[in-house]
Amino acid sequence: MAAPISSPLVGLPLGTAALTLAAFSWRRWDREKKAAEALGQATAVELPVGTLAIVDRASCSLATTEHSGRIMLVLVGDYGSNTAINLLDLLYRCGLDKAIGAILLIQLDARRRMRFMTHVPAVFHDRIVQVGAASLAGGLGNRSPEEAWALIEYWGPAVVNGTNDACERHQLVTPNDEPALVLTFISQGGQAIIGTLALGLIHERFPLAQLVGVTALPVDDLLRQEAEKVLDAYRAQGLEAIIVSDNLADGVRNDFGIVASIVGFLGAAEDADMPTEADNALRLMAKHAPGNLLSFSTRVINLPGFRFQLHPNIEPRYFVYSAAVTSSMLTALNRVPRPEYHALPEYRRNGRVPLTSTFDIVLAAIKPEDLKRNEDEVILARQLAGTNRRNNHLLFAPVTTKIDPQRPQCPIAVVSLHALADGPDLLRELLTPEELPVAFSPAPPPPGNGHPVLTPDALAAEVRDAH
């Protein structure tokens, strides 16, 4: 019979194992505690003195209280839908999406309507009313305004019904408020003229709303020669101001400039000490502008950023130096009046139209509380330089940007909006084709080297005589 096993001998290995396990657990806990403390300390470290954090659109949105839905958008054709994609994306990233009420999308091309809905942030989807026409699913193919209007039986009912739905949608999105501003983005292609039907209905429904158009002149003379006629048709429906750019200039910069100006007005009204709403500013610029025509200049400086990451488990932050931001703002403000930055080719701003105001909007991918310090420095610098403030407004607005980790940058942009001096005459000059079409006439026959030269009529007579 085997001898009984002593209980101390059994318990000793078990106790040793338990102690060893406890020691390992304590060491692991201690390492994790120290790692968490190190992580917390690294997270709490401030950026270097004299620097500002770049606001990355991927990691945060600017917090705002803009919930007014004061703007209604009307998007006509390709220019309207394409520009609005960038506008709505930036508004969403800047926390300003609720400034928009209803969005009326008049885009007969079914494929482009689908593209629009795919690229626009989902937060806007329930505010969008789409207008299409089954028989014109490919659009209007750059038809003239007269040719497009002759097809009203195909697209007219959809425009009327869609416009009424959009007006109702706007007052559902807001607390039954009417829009303060109706921004109409006008394509200059075949669909240009059909937006006038919608605008007339909106003006009838909301007679106190300010109606403002935005358009870019096309590069093709065939379309350019119709632009003045198109804009006159919109004026007849109550359009009070038209912001004009030209794709013969830098189209990409112009598209950014118009988007930045709208976002800038909304952002500045949110954070500025003396807010100026977009509808008020547009009236100050357009009421006495010849032909109610406005335009703008855009200057962008991309300031290189620096990476800040004290711990591998912390998302990197990116920063720029505050003094460089102020300097870049002043440089952009001083350079933006130059002809090469204007939305119209080689336009020179010679003075200001009487009884109109100019608005310079400074945008930077910096938090509002940090941007305020740069704003104060820029205002002081311009005061010391003797800048005339009469009829000149300077606004500052924070925006977000998409940071490339390999090449971080902080965009500093200035958009300067103003009335166009001699607007109608200037527009007419811009729209005049370089070459006018000529009627076909057969070239005269070459000299006959001493022999009689037969014209077509003489040749026909000879043939008749021969028979």
Whether the pLDDT of residue 235 is over 80: the answer is: yes
Whether the pLDDT of residue 204 is over 80: the answer is: yes
Distance CA 154, CA 160 (A): 12
**96 contact partners, CB below 8 Å, separation of at least 6:** 62, 64, 66, 263, 266, 267, 270
pLDDT band with cut points at 50, 70 and 90 for residue 154: very high
Query: What's the mean pLDDT in 305-333?
Result: 92
Tracing tokens 């401030």 back to the chain, one arrives at: 46
Query: What's the mean pLDDT in 234-252?
Result: 95
Global confidence as pTM: 0.83
Query: What's the mean pLDDT in 292-306?
Result: 96
| Cα angle for residues 187, 199, 236 (degrees, 5° grid) | 90
pLDDT band with cut points at 50, 70 and 90 for residue 312: confident
Tracing tokens 């009046």 back to the chain, one arrives at: 337
Q: Residue 28: its pLDDT value, please?
A: 73
Note the pLDDT tens digit of each residue in 385-414: 999 889 999 999 999 999 999 999 999 999
Candidates 279, 285, 253; CA nearest to 266 is 279
**227 contact partners, CB below 8 Å, separation of at least 6:** 188, 215, 217, 218, 427, 431
3-class secondary-structure state, position 340: helix
The mean pLDDT of the chain is 87
Whether the pLDDT of residue 369 is over 50: the answer is: yes
Percent of the chain with pLDDT over 90: 68
Whether the pLDDT of residue 294 is over 80: the answer is: yes
Alpha helices in 67-150 (DSSP H): 77-93, 110-119, 145-149
Higher per-residue confidence, 299 vs 8: 299
Residue 319 Rama label (left phi>0; alpha psi -120 to 50; beta): beta
Q: Residue 44: its pLDDT value, please?
A: 64
Contact 247, 254 (CB under 8 A): yes
Domains of the chain with CATH codes? 71-427 (3.40.50.1440)
**323 contact partners, CB below 8 Å, separation of at least 6:** 50
| β 100-106/128-131 pair status | parallel
Is residue 400 packed enough to be buried (19+ CB in 10 Å), middle (13-18) or exposed (0-12)? Answer: buried
Distance CA 374, CA 333 (A): 13
Please give the helix or strand (H or E) that residue 377 lies within, else none.
helix 368-384
